Amino acid sequence: MNFEKEAMACFPKEIPGLPTQLKFGDLNDIVSLDSSQAGFQDSPWLWGETWNIGIIPHPFTDVFAEPGLLANAQWLFAKSRTDYFCDPWLVENESEMVLFYERFNRKSGRGIICSAFLRRGTDGWALENHQTVIEESFHISHPCVFNYKERWYLIPEAADSGSIIIYEAVDFPFHWGPGKVLISGFHGVDPVLVHRDGFFWLFCGNGGTDHDANLHAFFSNSPFGPWTPHLANPIVTGLKGSRPAGPPFFFTGKLIRPAQDCRFTYGQALVFNEILKLSPTEFRESPIMRLSPPSASPYPHGLHSICHSGELCVVDGKSFSAIKRLYGPSLVRIRKTKHWWDNVNV
């Protein structure tokens, strides 16, 4: 994204034709486990979650108008017992589509940031020249990538470091300099950046609390800070629609913030919120639609990131499966609920 040309170039320009109501995809059966059952068991088997990244070769507006297109996503990675792939972030640079994503390793319990060129082949879209681009001693994920004054930057989730960190590309997209602290002492989860009314805004969860159920905002005159916390932090609370789910975008002059519905399981579905009021002292938003993964998808149990560039849309999808325990205890994040199907309306 280039803030000099657009407020957000990951969703370049306004997106026309977004419907005011969503045609719901099928809601999916979610494995019902309480917290005492969700891992840390003596059994060699456990319920595990697997994420994959899907390419939808349709404009963003088509996906909103016909959510069934999600079922036709081309999934980019083969299922693996050791790793899964999520948090896609798609950018265009010099006519090349570049995909950034998290690769999570079950043995280490940590994610790393990878990137690859996304190119069309005879059998559809394929990733070429996969490379690890950022790896730390702590877990990192959710690469928020943007262009500012002809330089590329990346703000990942680095909550385990205790700070929000920014990286600058040395040779885009594969070589990055060392991370620098943007906000110290705050465990920022899934940070996203947007420019609105003269301010840069950084939205993220607070990993020091229930990071699925809160949203914090910081504002600055520069993407490099200094950053001031919003007076009303946390500006959003609750499991339905707090945690970010990809970059905010503009539609008919309205600022839309994708968020996660985590009421019953982590990353169960997407909620799109229209930001109605955004200032250093006030914040107000309202949900306008909800998007859940269709049951026909091979990843029918979750959907927690969406991004777009040009005629392509990228999402990530989740499936639950019984996996043989390889590395010891592993906790599957499933919300305890008596009836998960209650209160599903936006």
pLDDT of res. 2: 45
Q: pLDDT tens digits for 218-259?
A: 999 999 999 999 999 999 999 999 999 999 988 888 999 999
Average pLDDT over residues 288-293: 93
Predicted local confidence at residue 65, as pLDDT: 75
Q: Please give the pLDDT value at position 325.
A: 58
Q: What pLDDT does 341 receive?
A: 32
Residue 308 sits at the vertex; the CA angle it makes with 302 and 314, to the nearest 5 degrees, is 35
Say yes or no to pLDDT of 99 above 80.
yes
d(CA 256, CA 270): 12
| pLDDT > 70: percent of the chain | 79
pLDDT at residue 36 is higher than 50 = no
- Domains present along the chain, CATH in parentheses: 45-324 (2.115.10.20)
- Angstrom distance (rounded) from CA 250 to CA 39: 41
Contact 314, 99 (CB under 8 A): yes
On the question of pLDDT at 194 being above 80, the answer is: yes
Q: How far apart are CA 177 and CA 166, in angstroms?
A: 10
Residue type, 239: L
**Nearest CA among 266, 318, 340, 315 for reference residue 64:** 315
Is the model more confident about 326 or about 312?
312
Backbone angles phi, psi at 188, to 5 degrees: -70, 130
Per-residue model confidence (pLDDT) at position 326: 55
pTM, 2 dp: 0.84
pLDDT at 270 over 60: yes
The fraction of the chain above a pLDDT of 90, given in percent, is 67
| CA atoms of 158 and 181, how far apart (whole Å) | 10
Looking at every residue in the chain, the average pLDDT score rounds to: 83
Residue 314 contacts residue 56 (beta carbons within 8 Å): yes
Average pLDDT over residues 123-152: 97
* 52-69 pLDDT per residue, tens: 999 999 888 788 778 888
Residue 22 has pLDDT above 80, yes or no: no
Look at residue 27 and tell me whether its pLDDT is greater than 90: no
Which residues contact residue 336 at a Cβ distance below 8 angstroms, ignoring those fewer than 6 apart? Answer: 33, 34, 35
Residue 17 has pLDDT above 70, yes or no: no
Of residues 297 and 158, more confidence is placed in 158
More confident residue, 208 or 9: 208
Better-scored residue on pLDDT, 146 or 10: 146
